């Protein structure tokens, strides 16, 4: 008699574990991204042997330069960024998950079309703010 309730509990737990990522993915598809990334199609040569692709982050009407390491250039690739919080949070190493690329800070990026990663990860570095220019007189500051 005790075995049957345990089976039902295990099956229920399994079902929830399988459906939870789909629910989160569906939720992400319906909500607006915090920011977008536009990937350029021209790679920058790297002396260390990995590819460096440039991109721009558009966050709250400001545009920031990005360096994407570990990705092959993909023309017309746009990334939707979720759970960003602030521009500096974009920096880090992203690893593939069922939801997209995810950093250890919890930032998720979904690229369409998907980026071709030469390694099993993508490293993003934030450059200076490009537009609109900072009015404080300090160059290269990041909000």
The pLDDT tens digits of the residues spanning 9-62 come to: 443 443 344 444 444 455 555 789 999 999 986 555 555 555 568 899 999 999
Q: Has residue 138 been placed in a domain?
A: no
Domain housing 62: 32-131
Does 26 share its domain with 37?
no
Does 57 share its domain with 10?
no
Give the number of domains in the chain: 2
Sheet strands (E) in 45-118: 52-59, 62-69, 71-72, 78-82, 92-97, 100-103, 108-112, 116-117
Does 44 share its domain with 3?
no
| 3 state SS of 25 | helix
- CA 92 to chain centroid, in Å, comes to 10
Q: Has residue 79 been placed in a domain?
A: yes
- CA 44 to chain centroid, in Å, comes to 20
Does 51 share its domain with 95?
yes
Does 27 share its domain with 48?
no
Question: Are 28 and 82 a contacting pair, CB within 8 Å?
Answer: yes
Task: Give the global pTM.
Answer: 0.68
Does 60 share its domain with 101?
yes
């Amino acid at each position: 008699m005790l075995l049957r309730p345990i089976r039902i509990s295990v099956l229920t737990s399994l079902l929830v574990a399988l459906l939870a990522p789909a629910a989160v993915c569906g939720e992400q598809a319906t909500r607006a991204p915090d920011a977008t990334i536009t990937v350029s199609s021209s790679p920058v040569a790297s002396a260390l042997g990995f590819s460096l692709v440039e991109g721009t982050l558009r966050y709250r009407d400001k545009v920031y330069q990005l360096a994407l390491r570990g990705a092959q250039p993909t023309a017309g690739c746009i990334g939707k960024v979720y759970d960003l919080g602030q521009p500096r949070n974009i920096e880090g190493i992203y690893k593939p998950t069922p939801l997209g690329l995810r950093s250890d800070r919890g930032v998720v990026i979904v690229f369409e079309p998907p980026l071709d990663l030469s390694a099993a990860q993508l490293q993003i570095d934030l450059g200076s703010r490009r537009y609109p220019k900072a009015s404080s007189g300090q160059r290269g500051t990041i909000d």
